[in-house]
């Protein structure tokens, strides 16, 4: 067994939290040889419910659970953490767009960014799940001037997994036979699920499906999947979101597979003509705990227009929250 690492999860008594904590504690995120100390943050009224979750975590007697800290103090929650999954936020209801949550949730991520800045490990890996995830990640990052901006990422892995699943179903193959799918941009209905570089069983994906399906079925289905789940369940996705969060962190910690990539919302460095600084979904490979944007992909007019539309939305969201950034 390795030395334990500290993993913070906010919104730990919420529905994603309930689907997430037990898998992290069981070693699904960082490996069966990596003990974790969970740091669970909740708002004060949710602390009794959180205590129940802590009792259940202890009752599982997981070999990889080395301790639990449960608190409503953000400074305690982020003390010395190696990983932070920022889940706690208000989810959207039927008929809302994720950006309708900007004001309500934006105020949460500034103080959390500052607390990470003041207390977390200097190479902390932060994943923002709470919506609107990309712009919340930017708010947190902009309140953490002493941390590397690349410490802050947003989750588009759920969209990536949804794209794998839709394409697998259409082609009659398993998701494991699909490589090089990309989610460009925002975790919102402007996201662009791109199959131009994807392969199914080694063959170009777009040779196996017709353009009408790609354009009129696949893309809107992936873009609207969150809303479809809210409509069907009466609550936003939870187990699949938790699973994607685990995938995102596991890949970031342990690396991508040879010959494949994943999609991560990361600070744009201007690659592919995207506005520098926005937290944008890119195809990335990961090695030794560091992610790198896949470079040199050919981008046609179809993709360009869609990549720019989601960039525009992210720039607009950024414009609406700049008052929440720490003064430089
Ligand atoms: P939930 O309402 O069940 O749980 C949220 C929890 O966060 C609650 O227990 C609440 O008390 C807590 N919380 C609120 N403010 C907090 C704060 N300041 N600090 C700590 N905890 C706080 O919601 P959920 O279904 O678990 O969803 C959480 C978030 O994840 C929502 O914003 C939702 O839209 C988002 N989400 C994102 C994705 C994605 O792909 N990025 C997918 C699904 C859901
Ligand atoms: C999702 O994609 O399922 C989540 O972001 C929840 C939502 O609001 O769509």
Active-site pick, 39, 160, 187, 197? 187
- Over residues 169-191, the pLDDT tens digits come to 999 999 999 999 999 999 999 99
Q: Is residue 87 part of a domain?
A: yes
Does residue 301 sit in the same domain as residue 200?
yes
Give me ligand 2 centre to Cα 190, in Å.
13
The predicted pLDDT at position 104 comes to 79
The predicted pLDDT at position 179 comes to 98
CB-ligand 1 contact for 92 (6 Å cutoff): yes
Q: Which residues contact 141 (CB under 8 A, 6 or more apart)?
A: 113, 147, 149, 151, 152, 267, 279
Does residue 95 sit in the same domain as residue 131?
yes
Share above pLDDT 70 across residues of the chain, in percent, rounded to a whole number = 100
Distance of CA 174 to the CA centre of its chain: 23
Statement: residue 96 has pLDDT above 90: no
Statement: residue 290 has pLDDT above 80: yes
Does residue 262 sit in the same domain as residue 160?
yes
DSSP line for 245-271: HHHHHHHHHH-PPTT--EEEEEE--SG
- Pocket test residue of 237, 239, 241 for ligand 2, highest count of atoms within 8 A of CB: 237
Does residue 41 sit in the same domain as residue 100?
yes
Q: Is residue 323 part of a domain?
A: no
Which H or E run includes 10? strand 5-10
Six token digits for residue 305: 């227009």
Q: Is residue 325 part of a domain?
A: no
Six token digits for residue 87: 């889940």
CB-ligand 1 contact for 238 (6 Å cutoff): yes
Instruction: Read off the CATH number of the domain in which 230 is found.
Output: 3.90.110.10
Statement: residue 76 has pLDDT above 90: yes
Q: Is residue 167 part of a domain?
A: yes
Q: Is residue 328 part of a domain?
A: no
Question: pLDDT-derived band of residue 289, with 50, 70 and 90 as boundaries?
Answer: very high
Instruction: Read off the CATH number of the domain in which 100 is found.
Output: 3.40.50.720
Q: Is residue 12 part of a domain?
A: yes
Does residue 109 sit in the same domain as residue 182?
no
Reference 185, options 318, 279, 248, 96; nearest CA is 279
Residue 98 marked ligand-binding: yes
Q: Is residue 51 part of a domain?
A: yes
Question: Atom 42 of ligand 1 has which residue's CA nearest to it?
Answer: 241
Statement: residue 328 has pLDDT above 80: no
- Pocket test residue of 156, 226, 263 for ligand 2, highest count of atoms within 8 A of CB: 226
Total domains, the chain: 2
Q: Are 38 and 67 in contact (CB under 8 A)?
A: yes
Q: How far apart are CA 146 and CA 148, in angstroms?
A: 7
Helix (H, G, I), strand (E, B) or coil at 184: strand
Does residue 69 sit in the same domain as residue 182?
no
Tell me if residue 187 is catalytic: yes
Average pLDDT in the chain: 96
Does residue 162 sit in the same domain as residue 122?
no
Among residues 154, 189, 223, the one where a domain terminates is: 154
Q: Is residue 265 part of a domain?
A: yes
Statement: residue 74 has pLDDT above 80: yes
Which H or E run includes 287? strand 279-287
Does residue 253 sit in the same domain as residue 192?
yes
CB-ligand 1 contact for 46 (6 Å cutoff): yes
Share above pLDDT 90 across residues of the chain, in percent, rounded to a whole number = 93
Q: Please, is 296 exposed, middle or buried when counting C-beta atoms within 10 Å of its C-beta (0-12, 13-18, 19+)?
A: exposed
Does residue 49 sit in the same domain as residue 83?
yes
- Which atom in ligand 1 lies closest to the alpha carbon of residue 45? 11
Among residues 98, 126, 154, the one where a domain terminates is: 154
> What is each CA distance from 169 to 177, 200, 237, 240, 299, in whole angstroms?
12, 11, 20, 17, 26
Statement: residue 68 has pLDDT above 90: yes
- Over residues 208-251, the pLDDT tens digits come to 999 999 999 999 999 999 999 999 999 999 999 999 999 999 99
Statement: residue 106 has pLDDT above 80: no
Q: Are 101 and 89 in contact (CB under 8 A)?
A: yes
Peptide bond into 132 cis (omega under 30): yes
- Over residues 12-57, the pLDDT tens digits come to 999 999 999 999 999 999 999 999 999 999 999 999 999 999 999 9
Domain that holds residue 168: 156-318
Among residues 120, 154, 188, the one where a domain terminates is: 154
Does residue 150 sit in the same domain as residue 18?
yes
Give me ligand 2 centre to Cα 33, in Å.
32
The predicted pLDDT at position 285 comes to 98
The predicted pLDDT at position 101 comes to 83
Does residue 137 sit in the same domain as residue 223?
no
Does residue 267 sit in the same domain as residue 304?
yes
Phi-psi bin for 11: left (phi > 0), alpha (psi -120 to 50), beta? left
ipTM of this predicted structure: 0.98
Give me ligand 1 centre to Cα 139, in Å.
16
CB-ligand 2 contact for 131 (6 Å cutoff): yes
């Amino acid at each position: 067994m390795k030395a334990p690492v500290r993993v913070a999860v906010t919104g730990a008594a919420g529905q994603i939290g309930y689907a997430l904590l037990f898998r992290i504690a069981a070693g699904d995120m960082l490996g069966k040889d990596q003990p974790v100390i969970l740091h669970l943050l909740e708002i004060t009224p949710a602390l009794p419910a959180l205590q129940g979750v802590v009792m259940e975590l202890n009752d599982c007697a997981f070999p990889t659970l080395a301790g639990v800290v449960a608190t409503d103090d953000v400074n305690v929650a982020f003390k010395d953490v190696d990983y932070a999954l920022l889940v706690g936020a208000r989810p959207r209801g039927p008929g809302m767009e994720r950006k309708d949550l900007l004001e309500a949730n934006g105020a949460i991520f500034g103080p959390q960014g500052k607390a990470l800045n003041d207390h977390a490990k200097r190479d902390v890996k932060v994943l923002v799940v709470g919506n609107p995830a990309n712009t919340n990640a930017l708010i947190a990052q902009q309140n953490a001037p002493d941390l590397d901006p690349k410490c802050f990422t947003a989750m588009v892995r759920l969209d990536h997994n949804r794209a794998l699943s839709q394409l697998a179903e259409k082609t009659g193959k398993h998701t494991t036979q699909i490589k090089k799918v990309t989610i460009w941009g925002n975790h919102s209905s402007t996201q662009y699920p791109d199959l131009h570089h994807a392969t199914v069983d080694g063959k170009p994906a777009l040779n196996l499906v017709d353009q009408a399906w790609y354009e009129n079925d696949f893309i809107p289905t992936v873009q609207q999947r969150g809303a479809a789940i809210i409509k069907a369940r009466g609550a936003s996705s939870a187990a699949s979101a938790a699973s994607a969060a685990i995938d995102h962190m596991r890949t970031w910690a342990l690396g991508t597979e040879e010959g494949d990539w994943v999609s991560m919302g990361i600070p744009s460095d201007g690659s592919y003509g995207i506005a520098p600084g926005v937290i944008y979904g890119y195809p990335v490979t990961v090695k030794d705990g560091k992610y790198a944007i896949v470079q040199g992909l050919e981008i046609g007019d179809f993709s360009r227009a869609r990549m720019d539309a989601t960039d525009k939305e992210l720039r607009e969201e950024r414009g609406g929250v700049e008052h929440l950034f720490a003064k430089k």
